[in-house]
Amino acid sequence: MSSSSRLQFLNLAQNNLDGPIPKLISRYHNLEELHLSFNNLNGSIPKSLSKLLKLEYFCLTNNNMEGEVPSWIWRLTMVALGNNSFNSFGTSSSQALDETQAIKWLDLSSNAFRGPLPHWICNLTSLEILNLSNNLFNGSIPQCLKNSTASLTDLVLRNNSFTGMIPDIFVNATKLISLDVSRNHLEGELPKSLVHCTRLELLNVRSNRIKDTFPFWLGSLPSLHVLILRSNKFHGPHVSTKFQSLRVIDVSHNEFTGALPSLYFSEWLAMTTVSIEEDSFMISNVPYMGKVLNATAFYISSMEIVNKGVEMEFKRINQDYRTIDFSGNSFSGNIPESIGLPKELRHLNLSGNAFTGSIPQSLADLTKLESLDLSKNQLSGQIPQNLGSLSFVSTMNLSHNLLEEPVLRSTQFQGQSCSSFMDNLKLYGLEDICGGEKHVKNPVLEESEQEEQVINWIAVVIAYGPGVFC
């Protein structure tokens, strides 16, 4: 390799490289982008790479690297070190950040960092994307992150051990697109300053200890597509409001109560219309729920559905998966015939509540529905015959209710598993589904069928170059 090389872009990703990072890479003094992701590289980041003074983008995701992240890294514009075993930062990191604050994209996800979040991160005042998910960080989320929120578009702190309240630091976060603090130990109420995040598309606080009433005030956010409040301590009546852009809402496994009034969902306009944007892979050359960072990199949010224990990640991130999940609360009363569910709905989960009365005939109007879960309620009467016309439904769970009369011999019903009808003592006509049994009291479920259907959105970073995804 010639030290006078004019090479600016080096892509060695997905080549099954092993061993340490070759030190001779440092001879390419004009190198601006270095892609080493999806290999088997190990050891630490060699000090010789610090000689690459023109380097701006460094992608090292999905390797076996370990040790500390050297301080010279922070002078770069984009750094992607996810899915390694890094566990510490260079001792001069704070000093290095005083000298330069140019970094815009920092992905340290899925490593072995532990302890409190370093306060020098608050000095990254040009930061746009910060992904610290899947580490062992603990303590409180520092109030000083307010210094970075004016430039942040994506803040991902998912799956750590953060405690305390979510700090009220979003007054100036007008560029924020996604906020994911799920799977931590956070408590208290949602910070009201989130109302200033007018570009927010995704808010995920799943699996914490947040104790609050339903945040109806989020209805003022014009771009909010995804709201995940699952598995917290939200309580009281679920107050409906006009969400202009909401397409996925998951408030399951909280402490909401009360009945659902007629036309409850009728003003959730984005769930009732199909835009031209959803039919194209790119929106103005930018992936849906994503943005271009430079000519060879972009950041997107993709969706993962866990359906009865089987994980499925949708590669076409622009596809529309309109979802309503109200399961695991204490909603009661009848499900109104005119509840106003959007006809474009794909997934509906009302299981684990105290709904009574019959299954609404109007559910058959949801012609795009792919999954329906009404299990573990007190629904009675006959299964509506017109539900058999839901041609896209692959999963229908009506178990643990008070349903009666025969199961109709429709393809949509006969194609379900026996467990979909269990524990309905007056329900019969299940011979073809349950192997000759006329009634089903409590058949043994396979482990994969005991999992509830849940929706979870995860933020992933994808850097795209010729033939490489970082």
Residue 81 near residue 42 (C-beta atoms within 8 A): no
Task: Give me the mean pLDDT over the 200-216 stretch.
Answer: 95
User: How many CA atoms, within 13 angstroms, populate the side-chain half-sphere of residue 357?
Assistant: 12
Domain locations along the chain: 1-103, 106-349+462-470, 352-449
Residue 11 near residue 468 (C-beta atoms within 8 A): yes
Please tell me the distance from the alpha carbon of residue 229 to that of residue 465, in angstroms, as a whole number: 35
pLDDT confidence bin for 436, thresholds 50/70/90: low
Please state, rounded to an integer, the average pLDDT across all residues of the chain.
82
Say which CATH superfamily domain 352-449 falls into.
Answer: Ribonuclease Inhibitor (3.80.10.10)
pLDDT tens digit string along 324-362?
Answer: 999 999 999 999 998 888 888 999 999 999 999 999 999
pLDDT confidence bin for 181, thresholds 50/70/90: very high
Which residue do the tokens 């598995």 mark? 231
The two structure tokens encoding residue 233: 């301590």
**Whether the predicted pLDDT of 27 surpasses 60:** yes
Residue 167 near residue 144 (C-beta atoms within 8 A): no
What DSSP string describes 347-412?
A: EEE--SSEEEEPPPGGGGG-TT--EEE--SSEEEEPPPGGGGG-TT--EEE--SSEEEEEPP--HH
What is the 8-class DSSP label of residue 213?
A: B
**Whether the predicted pLDDT of 55 surpasses 80:** yes
pLDDT tens digit string along 76-134?
Answer: 999 999 999 999 998 755 555 554 557 999 999 999 999 999 888 888 889 999 999 99
**Whether the predicted pLDDT of 438 surpasses 90:** no
User: How many CA atoms, within 13 angstroms, populate the side-chain half-sphere of residue 343?
Assistant: 5
Q: Which fold has domain 106-349+462-470?
A: 3.80.10
* Of 213, 86, 183, residue with least CA distance to 459: 183
Rg (CA), the chain: 25
Residue 388 near residue 363 (C-beta atoms within 8 A): no
Q: What is the pLDDT, as a whole number, of residue 300? A: 47
% residues pLDDT > 70 (the chain): 79
Contacts of 84 (CB under 8 A, 6+ apart): 60, 61, 62, 63, 64, 65, 66, 110, 111
Contacts of 275 (CB under 8 A, 6+ apart): none
Which bin fits 50, alpha (ψ -120 to 50), beta or left (φ > 0)? alpha
Q: Nearest 5°: phi and psi at 82?
A: -65, 155
* Of 72, 112, 78, residue with least CA distance to 91: 72
| Domain 1-103 identical in fold to domain 106-349+462-470 | yes
Q: Which of 79-83, 163-167, 385-389, 442-446 has the lowest mean pLDDT?
A: 442-446
Vertex 114: Cα angle to 108 and 115 (nearest 5): 125
**Whether the predicted pLDDT of 455 surpasses 60:** no
pLDDT confidence bin for 460, thresholds 50/70/90: very low
Q: What is the pLDDT, as a whole number, of residue 414? A: 81
Please tell me the distance from the alpha carbon of residue 363 to that of residue 427, in angstroms, as a whole number: 20
The two structure tokens encoding residue 375: 């299990």
Please tell me the distance from the alpha carbon of residue 302 to that of residue 313, in angstroms, as a whole number: 8
Q: What is the pLDDT, as a whole number, of residue 88? A: 94
Which bin fits 151, alpha (ψ -120 to 50), beta or left (φ > 0)? alpha
| Helix, strand, or coil (residue 71) | helix
Q: What is the pLDDT, as a whole number, of residue 51? A: 92
How far is CA 439 from its chain centroid? 39
Please tell me the distance from the alpha carbon of residue 158 to that of residue 181, in angstroms, as a whole number: 5
pLDDT tens digit string along 255-291?
Answer: 999 998 888 888 777 776 655 444 333 333 334 444 5
Task: Give me the mean pLDDT over the 174-182 stretch.
Answer: 95
Q: Nearest 5°: phi and psi at 105?
A: -130, 120
Which residue do the tokens 């514009």 mark? 77
Best-predicted range by mean pLDDT (158-167, 267-276, 295-304): 158-167
pLDDT confidence bin for 388, thresholds 50/70/90: confident
Q: Which fold has domain 1-103?
A: 3.80.10
Please tell me the distance from the alpha carbon of residue 165 to that of residue 186, in angstroms, as a whole number: 6
Q: What is the pLDDT, as a whole number, of residue 271? A: 76
Please report, for residues 51, 131, 145, 378, 380, the alpha-carbon distance to residue 351 in angstroms, rounded to integers and kept in the order given: 59, 33, 39, 10, 14
The total of other beta-carbon atoms located within 10 Å of residue 118's CB is: 16
pLDDT confidence bin for 458, thresholds 50/70/90: very low
Q: What is the pLDDT, as a whole number, of residue 413? A: 83
pLDDT tens digit string along 411-424?
Answer: 778 888 899 999 99
Size (the chain), residues: 470
pLDDT tens digit string along 216-261?
Answer: 999 999 999 999 999 999 999 877 778 888 889 999 999 999 998 8
Please report, for residues 8, 18, 250, 463, the alpha-carbon distance to residue 13 in angstroms, rounded to integers and kept in the order given: 16, 12, 37, 11
